[in-house]
Amino acid sequence: MSAIKYYLAFYNAVLVFGWSIILVKSLSGISQGLSWAELYTSVETEVKIFQTAAVLEVVHSLLGFVRSPIGTTVMQVTSRVVLVWPILHSCATARHSIGVPMLLVAWSVTEVIRYSFYALGLFNAVPYVLTWMRYTFFYVLYPVGVSGELLTLFASLNEVHEKQLYSISMPNKVNMSLSFWWVLVITALTYIPGFPQLYFYMIAQRKKVLGVNSEKKRN
């Protein structure tokens, strides 16, 4: 086994551990009736650490460590990192959104399954049930996660506009202005073409992967 595979196995195992903690704490907080803001506060440190660590997936793709398409990887990682830092970190109103528990549960379940799949795949030891979960749970988790992300983003817009967060106003030395509010609106609009494209891609992958596995099981 090469050094790269050992590194990837370690990376994926750490992310399984981290997202498992987030999942357990999120479900526990929901069952205890925490407010959405309190719920996010209870997992904030872990979410910041392990979601930010996903930036390494872009590096892995660029270096050829994995076969994931760079464009899709950048889009998925960037959208989540923006939600965690400029939005949830900086906007108190965003943490009160119903989107918070939706994205926390959807993200954590998805990532526990995904990183477990990747880690075991390095050893050719992925059980069929894990493959089935990876290519089936997305039917519910993906729409819930995307809805949670958008609801959280929308909840931040008024605060971003009022405080002009991360915006650059004229005049300035570079003679350029930037509205972070518009950046968020444009980001939200990219979900319109992006969601169906990725969703139907996963449906096609499910048919391909589970079809092959099912045939093997019958034989």
Closest-CA residue to 39 (of 105, 119, 87): 105
Q: What is the Cα–Cα distance from 219 to 200, expressed in whole angstroms?
A: 29
> Is 142 annotated in the active site?
yes
Q: What is the Cα–Cα distance from 92 to 77, expressed in whole angstroms?
A: 22
Residues 6+ positions from 119 with CB-CB distance below 8 Å:
8, 9, 12, 13, 16
Candidate list 46, 57, 111, 149, residue with the active-site label: 149
Residue 165 · residue 180 · CB < 8 Å: yes
211 residue type, one letter:
G
Closest-CA residue to 2 (of 90, 91, 64): 64
Residue 18 · residue 46 · CB < 8 Å: yes
Tell me the β-bridge partners of 206: none
Candidate list 142, 166, 191, 199, residue with the active-site label: 142
Q: Can you tell me whether residue 102 is helix, strand or coil?
A: helix
8 residue type, one letter:
L
> Is 191 annotated in the active site?
no
Residues identified as active-site: 142, 149
